[in-house]
Amino acid sequence: MWSDTSKAQPVLVTGGAGFIGSRLVRLLATAGHRVRVLDDLTTGRAESVASLPGVTLDRGSVLDPDAVARSARGTRLVLHLAGIVGMRLATGQAGHAYAVGHHGTANVLAHSGETPVVLVSSSAVYGLSDSTAALRDDVPVDRSVPLAYDSGTPGYATGKWEMERLGREASHHRPVLVVRPFNVVGPGQRGRYGMVLPTFLRQATTGGPLTVHGDGTQRRCFTDVDQFTRRLLELTDTDAAWQPDANVVNIGSTTETSIGDLARLVLDATGSTADVVHVPYESVFPGRTDVTGRVPRLDRLTAAVGETEWLSAASLVRKTAQARRAGSMSATR
């Protein structure tokens, strides 16, 4: 679809200096595409994209309509990833997280003409789900579901829901694709904003202890960032994925791993003898309820791009731990 147009026209990636965004930028640049990155560098890092060929970094926020309009001008595809990352930031800056999800998306849609737009939402729109049934991307989600996840005040999850609502409305007159990632992790992710795997790896390599919220039985489907970004780009180049009645797509592993088991995998991968301690979830995130489980159905993704053999949690932990060790060794040379 969009890749059939001239490579002289750039692709815009909002939030392109972040963990997932910079992977997408690298893939696009490697394939010979010109890329324009719009990022306010609150959590993104300029050095993650600055040296890539054909990449231009525009420092600015999606909350600034003028910045969006400048970056979107003349583009042939917009990948909209800008957002608040990590539970610590999402809960500590709930109003800002909502604004970025809602108003930031409104700006992107309003100032990108008829260019195809990919809106990167979140599995958080499914709210306080469990894993008794896989989460379907072909069933509408009521606003009350993410609002309950946000403890009744619009925040990160509700902002992503508003993102999707705006996307659905826009898809009647322009190409819009909405994707919902599930716990994307891997090398380069930082733990300072509440990401569990890099937090555990840091704790394990500095002597611990590894801090597990609650009893550790809560489960997540951890998805390799490299597999996620490849699947996403393959999806964007599939015409069927852009159809207005089928343009919301889950992307992620369907294999659950408990947080307690993840801690043990980290200890095994690092050879650490650190202790594992449990802290009440309420003491870390007052007034909030943790999600017990969240498993995606991938029928739409599979129909569009085929089956995916997702990396196991153990392989993901080893891959990320090895990259961390390699990075630490390079920094000391």
Question: Distance between CA 173 and CA 156 in Å, rounded?
Answer: 27
Q: Is the pTM of this model over 0.85?
A: yes
Count of H-run helices and E-run strands, the chain: 13, 13
Q: DSSP code of 281?
A: H
- Calculated CA dihedral for residues 232, 236, 241, 244, nearest 10 degrees: 120
Would you give per-residue pLDDT tens digits along the chain (333 residues)? 666 666 789 999 999 999 999 999 999 999 999 999 999 999 999 999 989 999 999 999 999 999 999 999 999 999 999 999 888 888 889 999 999 999 999 999 999 999 999 999 999 999 998 878 899 999 999 999 999 999 999 999 999 999 999 999 999 999 999 999 999 999 999 988 889 999 999 999 999 899 999 999 999 999 999 999 999 999 999 999 999 989 999 999 999 999 999 999 999 999 999 999 999 988 888 888 889 999 999 999 999 999 999 999 999 999 999 999 887 644 433
Contact of 119 with 77, CB cutoff 8 Å? no
